[in-house]
A and B are shown apart, each in its own frame.
Chain A
Amino acid sequence: MKRVLEGSHAVAEAVRLAKAQVISAYPITPQTHIVEILSDYCSSGKLKAKFLRVESEHSALASLIGAQSSGVRTFTATSSQGLALMHELLHWASGARLPIVMAEVNRALGPGWNIWVDQTDSLAQRDTGWMQFYCEDSQEVLDTTLQAYRLAEEVNLPAMVVLDAFFLSHTYEPVDIPDEKDVDRFLPPYAPKFQLDPANPCAFGQLVTPAFYMEMRHDIDRAMGLALTRFTEIEEEYARLFKRRYGVVEAVQCDDADVVFLTSGTVTSTCRLVLKTLREKGEKVGILKVKLFRPSPVEHIRAALRSAKKVAVIDRNCSFGVGGIFAQEVRAALCNQPGHPLVYSYIAGIGGRDVTPELLEDIYWKTRNSEAPEKDSIWTGLQEVAHGTQRA
């Protein structure tokens, strides 16, 4: 059934269809709409889940760790500072191998206080052992959330479904909501591989000596590897039922492209328009949309960029002192490939600033017309700021 939905509500619909049993969250803009509607569903009985009101995001995730350990399907959603506050427990959830699913609405971190889109919050959590999916539109958000449950529960790793603040979370689009019975076929009830059981008391997660800790960590890394292959298979299955597939990456006209845009999130949609314009002008340009960030689809990136001469990475984030984070990932993926394309790193749209078609076209021409990147990381669209500078 098609409905016009806000991106946030697309997440909520997916959680409803996934029949999450425990939901715990603390409100934060721009995430709040997701849990608002879920708490409605819980109180009306539309979703038979326990909604825990907690005093912080730290407690939200802590309570889900407890709930999931007892063998139920769980959900939370957060943004920005909220995710940062969860940091300690993000590690715990993956270390405890709990398949918790979270919606993370990309929002800038303060100060300056800013509620608009910026990927730095989620990318700063890249080493916590959570899988991360970056979505482009509301339909993808809904589909990915369902797939995330399936994948997380198979490989016992937590998953983060990431969507852009406002451009996605608060934009209404037509969304096809799958039939509950079909979803049940795709996503059966959670069958935990281990759980707390009062009849057979035991403790999880206690002291582990150097003799075993490394093996445990190796298993998390191996499970990430398994997730990469399993995701493609799960997507196959999903596509058979619902006729939609996105891929861990999506390569758009990359085969003959000299310059390839590498994008994630909603910028991809803008880029698709720019691609059309440039192709009409005869430019050999492509797009590589990266959906799966963790586990990193290294092979997919290498394959898609095989024949490209230059790749222009658009990063709506910054690791200060290094530059765009996606760009780092791409460089790392390519560095051992002989004759790999030049990597141009562009930082754009930080803190909710619009990434316009004009800006992307600018980036294209700059990339195409230069021999090599002028800098390792290029900030785009900066204004002249006269005040507020001081001599160091």
Chain B
Amino acid sequence: MAGSKASKHVVPLLMPRSYMSTESNKTGSWRFLRPRYDEKTAPCSTACPAGEDIARVEMLTAQGLFKEAWETILKENPFPAVCGRVCFHPCEGICNRGEFDAPVAIHVMERFLAETAVRYDLKPLLERCPAKKEKIAVVGAGPSGLSAACFLNRLGYVCDVFEAASEPGGILRWGIPEYRLPLSALRSEIAQIESEGVRIMTDKRLPADFIDRAGDSYDAVFIGCGHGRTTMLRIPGEDVDGVEDGLEFLNRIRSGETPAVDGVSAVIGGGNTAVDVARSIIRLGGKAVILYRRRRSDMPAFQEEVEMALEEGVELKELLAPAGIVKDRKGIFITMRPMKVVGEDEGGRGRVEPARGKTQQLLVQRVFKATGAESVDERYNPPDRRRNVLVLENGVLVDRPKGPAVFFGGDLVNETKSVTHAVASGKAAAIALDTLFRDGFKAVPGRAASCAVGNGKALSMEVYLGGERSSRNPHVVRFAEVNTDYFHFAPRITQPRLMREERLNTFKEINLKISATLAIREAERCFNCGVCNRCDNCYLFCPDLAVMREQDLTGRHVDYDYCKGCGLCVVECPRNAMTLEEEER
């Protein structure tokens, strides 16, 4: 307390004044609620079969840390350049931003990051565990085999990959057209896997009894040879001359051939292979008609691909099932039976059965079968669940009393036959085999479950290795848990593309590159659900100055000596990276 005097007059001026620091008042003792930093799980990362840490990837991208963002993807998926292009991005379907304006274009940025890495010839900083004695053979250098080898190699195992074809990549190399996945993008990622220490032996077609003989050299075998044979249509005439295998056709194009496609070709099927075949025919100067027994909306092919195919002149005939094929001098006659929708299957796809009405005839020059594929040898099909057979989300582990353990992955086991599911298989194999070798067969299911992203289906290698991500709360952040006051409406990036006219006679990649500026702008749209991006709202709003920033600004912590537990930090956290709990007394 102090008074003061004016020069001429005495001014009554009793004022409270203190020279004591308020730090002596430990207001933390008033607290009955405790805020803490509690990073949670973003929905996108649970929907991604590879369990990529998308919220963090976007955060790093928005900060311009492209290499770190790229490395964050590589921890969970060695194929960002591939997946950024051909994955069906289920992450975007579940994106919380979709409830606000439009989902973040996650796949566009995944590709951008991979391309940036190539452009600047970046070398990722990835840890490799100490070398282990076990050796693993991988059958098939497709996405699942390469992923398995990549992850097992990082865990310290020696991996040999055996590939029947002249170049690794499997369906990515031989089955997906260049306009969707350029060779350079695939090759750079395979080169990266090889540079980490994986040996790939091409032109090495293994006999089917390899599994039984591998025990001499290997402790485990990963079977990821995929479905190499198109399934039979089971209709009369399907083996006549002019009826071709769609996958085989795509393979020929990617081998450098230019197959003749004059006249009209019919493509039977509704998946991506059917659409790829049809669009390739257009590019080779032919005409293509897709015959599909269900409706367009039921097609398993990506909607965008179907849309572009129609733009390019592919014709689509729905609700028609081929009933027979006859060849004569004019060409090939396909008899088609009209179908009708009679309800829906579990996935919401229309169920069809033959409808009454006349069959139709279609005259074409060629027919391509693209109705699905199957394994070329029975022995590559995984066994059913037994005592020594463990069925995981993306793979089947067989612990054999004699001989090496076997893991079946990729299209051989996956219900959804996608690249990213194949990557998931490879990762599941690495986690399962490592656990098998270290802790035994019984430990595998528990260990796999412990590194599931948000207690979902996807597994995280970073969590398995006890990285930063393993401290994340499995709680999946809902839209209502995001503080949208801190976000502005912003349009989703439009993917720049070749014009239709530019696409018609070339296999050049359709989707064009985007600039770093656009990538950052799009990444900034991400809510980063559950992940702290150091926006410092907590720091700014804390009325007690109890939010402390680490010297290097990498982290924040709460000073519980002074935190009164008002909860402002938690409410003002835009991305739900904090939690308020009742104080334990």
**A positions within 8 Å CB-CB of B:** 96-97, 154-156, 193-194, 200-208, 212, 215-216, 218-220, 222-223, 226, 230
Min CB–CB distance A236 → chain B (angstroms): 14
Contact in complex: A226, B16 (CB < 8 Å): no
Given contacts A194-B4, A194-B15, A216-B14, 20 further A-B contacts (CB under 8 A): A154-B6, A154-B9, A156-B13, A193-B6, A194-B2, A194-B17, A200-B19, A203-B18, A203-B22, A204-B16, A204-B17, A206-B16, A208-B16, A212-B14, A212-B16, A216-B15, A218-B12, A219-B14, A222-B12, A223-B12
Task: Give the residue among B4, B6, B22 with the most A Cβ atoms within 10 A.
Answer: B6
Alpha-carbon distance A216/B18, docked complex (angstroms): 15
Of the candidates B1, B11, B18, the one whose C-beta lies within 8 Å of that of A156 is B11
Contact in complex: A193, B12 (CB < 8 Å): no
Residues of A within 8 A of B22 (CB): 203
* Closest chain B residue, CB of each to CB of A193: B4
Contact in complex: B12, A219 (CB < 8 Å): yes
Min CB–CB distance B194 → chain A (angstroms): 60
Min CB–CB distance B540 → chain A (angstroms): 16
Min CB–CB distance A226 → chain B (angstroms): 6
Given A193-B4, A194-B4, A212-B1, verify A204-B15 contact (CB < 8 Å): yes
* Closest chain B residue, CB of each to CB of A192: B4
List 22 A-B residue pairs with CB atoms under 8 Å apart, sorted by A's residue number: A96-B15, A97-B13, A154-B6, A154-B9, A193-B4, A193-B11, A194-B4, A194-B15, A202-B18, A202-B19, A203-B18, A203-B19, A204-B16, A206-B18, A212-B1, A212-B14, A215-B14, A219-B13, A223-B12, A226-B9, A226-B11, A230-B9
Alpha-carbon distance A222/B9, docked complex (angstroms): 12
* Closest chain B residue, CB of each to CB of A220: B12
Given A154-B6, A194-B4, A212-B1, verify A201-B19 contact (CB < 8 Å): yes
Of the candidates A97, A222, A230, the one whose C-beta lies within 8 Å of that of B15 is A97
Given A154-B6, A212-B1, verify A223-B17 contact (CB < 8 Å): no
Min CB–CB distance B92 → chain A (angstroms): 37
Residues of B within 8 A of A216 (CB): 14-16
Min CB–CB distance A369 → chain B (angstroms): 48
Min CB–CB distance A4 → chain B (angstroms): 38
Alpha-carbon distance A208/B18, docked complex (angstroms): 11
Alpha-carbon distance A220/B15, docked complex (angstroms): 10
- Of residues 272 through 327 on chain B, the ones whose CB sits less than 8 Å from some CB of chain A are none
Alpha-carbon distance A155/B14, docked complex (angstroms): 12
Alpha-carbon distance A216/B15, docked complex (angstroms): 7
Min CB–CB distance B256 → chain A (angstroms): 67
Residues of B within 8 A of A219 (CB): 12-14
B15-50 near A? 1/0 per residue, CB < 8 Å: 111110010000000000000000000000000000
Alpha-carbon distance A296/B22, docked complex (angstroms): 39
Contact in complex: B11, A205 (CB < 8 Å): no
Residues of A within 8 A of B18 (CB): 202-203, 206
Residues of A within 8 A of B14 (CB): 212, 215-216, 218-219
Contact in complex: B16, A193 (CB < 8 Å): no
Alpha-carbon distance A202/B2, docked complex (angstroms): 12
Residues of B within 8 A of A205 (CB): 15-16
Min CB–CB distance B15 → chain A (angstroms): 6
Alpha-carbon distance A215/B16, docked complex (angstroms): 11
Task: Give the residue among B6, B15, B18, B22 with the most A Cβ atoms within 10 A.
Answer: B15
Alpha-carbon distance A285/B2, docked complex (angstroms): 51
Min CB–CB distance B231 → chain A (angstroms): 67
Alpha-carbon distance A201/B6, docked complex (angstroms): 23
Alpha-carbon distance A366/B294, docked complex (angstroms): 97
Residues of B within 8 A of A226 (CB): 9, 11-12
Alpha-carbon distance A156/B6, docked complex (angstroms): 10
Closest 8 CB pairs of A and B: A219-B12, A222-B12, A193-B4, A219-B14, A203-B18, A216-B14, A202-B19, A208-B16
Residues of A within 8 A of B15 (CB): 96-97, 194, 204-205, 216
Of the candidates B2, B11, B16, B17, the one whose C-beta lies within 8 Å of that of A155 is B11
Alpha-carbon distance A207/B1, docked complex (angstroms): 11
Alpha-carbon distance A220/B22, docked complex (angstroms): 27
Min CB–CB distance B488 → chain A (angstroms): 19
* Closest chain A residue, CB of each to CB of B10: A226
Alpha-carbon distance A67/B4, docked complex (angstroms): 20
Residues of B within 8 A of A202 (CB): 17-19
Alpha-carbon distance A207/B16, docked complex (angstroms): 8
Residues of B within 8 A of A206 (CB): 16, 18
* Closest chain B residue, CB of each to CB of A200: B19
* Closest chain A residue, CB of each to CB of B3: A219
Residues of B within 8 A of A201 (CB): 19
* Closest chain B residue, CB of each to CB of A201: B19
Task: Give the residue among B2, B6, B11 with the most A Cβ atoms within 10 A.
Answer: B11
Alpha-carbon distance A97/B6, docked complex (angstroms): 13
Min CB–CB distance B305 → chain A (angstroms): 51
Contact in complex: B1, A193 (CB < 8 Å): no
Residues of A within 8 A of B17 (CB): 194, 202-204
Residues of A within 8 A of B19 (CB): 200-203
Min CB–CB distance A182 → chain B (angstroms): 21
Residues of B within 8 A of A208 (CB): 16
Residues of B within 8 A of A200 (CB): 19
* Closest chain B residue, CB of each to CB of A203: B18
Min CB–CB distance B89 → chain A (angstroms): 41
Min CB–CB distance A151 → chain B (angstroms): 11
Alpha-carbon distance A226/B9, docked complex (angstroms): 9
Alpha-carbon distance A189/B252, docked complex (angstroms): 91
B130-144 near A? 1/0 per residue, CB < 8 Å: 000000000000000
Given A202-B18, A203-B22, verify A193-B9 contact (CB < 8 Å): no
Alpha-carbon distance A220/B13, docked complex (angstroms): 7
Residues of B within 8 A of A96 (CB): 15
Alpha-carbon distance A6/B220, docked complex (angstroms): 93
Min CB–CB distance A52 → chain B (angstroms): 18
Residues of A within 8 A of B4 (CB): 193-194
Alpha-carbon distance A201/B15, docked complex (angstroms): 16
Residues of B within 8 A of A215 (CB): 14
Alpha-carbon distance A96/B1, docked complex (angstroms): 13
* Closest chain A residue, CB of each to CB of B4: A193
Alpha-carbon distance A230/B19, docked complex (angstroms): 32
Alpha-carbon distance A316/B498, docked complex (angstroms): 75
* Closest chain A residue, CB of each to CB of B15: A97
Contact in complex: B13, A223 (CB < 8 Å): yes
Alpha-carbon distance A134/B516, docked complex (angstroms): 63
Contact in complex: B16, A223 (CB < 8 Å): no
Residues of A within 8 A of B6 (CB): 154, 193
* Closest chain A residue, CB of each to CB of B6: A154
Alpha-carbon distance A205/B17, docked complex (angstroms): 6
Min CB–CB distance A195 → chain B (angstroms): 11
Min CB–CB distance A205 → chain B (angstroms): 6
Min CB–CB distance B41 → chain A (angstroms): 36
B360-382 near A? 1/0 per residue, CB < 8 Å: 00000000000000000000000
Residues of B within 8 A of A154 (CB): 6, 9, 11
Residues of B within 8 A of A155 (CB): 11
Residues of B within 8 A of A156 (CB): 11, 13
Min CB–CB distance B226 → chain A (angstroms): 62
Of the candidates B1, B2, B11, the one whose C-beta lies within 8 Å of that of A223 is B11
Residues of A within 8 A of B11 (CB): 154-156, 193, 223, 226
* Closest chain B residue, CB of each to CB of A219: B12
* Closest chain B residue, CB of each to CB of A202: B19
Alpha-carbon distance A201/B14, docked complex (angstroms): 19
Min CB–CB distance B549 → chain A (angstroms): 21
Residues of A within 8 A of B16 (CB): 204-208, 212, 216
Alpha-carbon distance A154/B6, docked complex (angstroms): 7
Residues of A within 8 A of B2 (CB): 194
Residues of B within 8 A of A203 (CB): 17-19, 22
Min CB–CB distance B72 → chain A (angstroms): 39
Alpha-carbon distance A223/B15, docked complex (angstroms): 13
Min CB–CB distance A63 → chain B (angstroms): 17
Min CB–CB distance B347 → chain A (angstroms): 52
